[in-house]
Chains A and B, each alone.
Chain A
Amino acid sequence: AQSVTQLGSHVSVSEGALVLLRCNYSSSVPPYLFWYVQYPNQGLQLLLKYTSAATLVKGINGFEAEFKKSETSFHLTKPSAHMSDAAEYFCAVSGGDYKLSFGAGTTVTVRA
């Protein structure tokens, strides 16, 4: 079985500051890891995914995530926050099949 834990339900950053969202996973098989973003009143949208290739994964909108097996982590970062980054972010894991297990989500607010 696979599961993820997102550390921190809410993160507040200043515009231009680093965004760091933490995700730890548990998996009995090599994991496939994902970050999704949900803007208000919209569905989820894939930001990036890790599928056992490069451990540093680049996604859309300047986000990237690094897979660290030793730490069972897949943290999401963006060097400089923009007001448009305000949203809810979900980490998710699968074992390579159709079952995605989503974390509880982290809401990001960006202060001007």
Chain B
Amino acid sequence: DAGVIQSPRHEVTEMGQEVTLRCKPISGHNSLFWYRQTMMRGLELLIYFNNNVPIDDSGMPEDRFSAKMPNASFSTLKIQPSEPRDSAVYFCASQRGEDTGELFFGEGSRLTVL
């Protein structure tokens, strides 16, 4: 089976530009997570979807960040406008069920905002 697929793998953009990161979870998994990884803050949960519904977005840094999951096989994380402090690796992860803790991570999208 294919794993979690993220795109793009690398994104370099200039401050103020819109960034859209994409994720395709594993088929049959009904929970989806977006995490951000930085040296300073480690792994942070940004948002959690269950059955395509956002359940917890308390980790979204500010209004510049938004996430959608229009169907069970696709999710996006958008940053508009982007800032240099948004530079990080963004991971999408999916899970079968709601609370097993067995997350399957994508390879990440490395974002650099100049």
Contacts of A102 in B (CB 8 A): 42-43
Q: When A42-B107, A43-B4, A98-B48 are in contact, do A105 and B42 touch as well, CB less than 8 Å?
A: yes
Assembled-state Cα–Cα distance A1/B108 (Å): 27
Q: Which positions 89-114 of chain B face chain A at CB distance < 8 Å? A: 91, 93, 95, 98-99, 101-108
Give the Cβ gap from A25 to chain B, nearest Cβ, in Å: 13
Q: Is residue A45 within 8 Å, beta carbon to beta carbon, of the partner chain?
A: yes
Q: Is residue A71 within 8 Å, beta carbon to beta carbon, of the partner chain?
A: no
Complex contact B42–A49 (CB within 8 A): no
Q: Which positions 56-104 of chain B face chain A at CB distance < 8 Å? A: 56, 91, 93, 95, 98-99, 101-104
Assembled-state Cα–Cα distance A32/B95 (Å): 16
Complex contact A44–B101 (CB within 8 A): no
Q: Which residue of chain B has its CB nearest to the CB of A50?
A: B101
Q: When A41-B107, A43-B108, A98-B31 are in contact, do A90 and B43 touch as well, CB less than 8 Å?
A: yes
Lowest 5 CB-CB distances: which A-B pairs, in order?
A: A43-B105, A102-B43, A44-B105, A97-B99, A104-B42
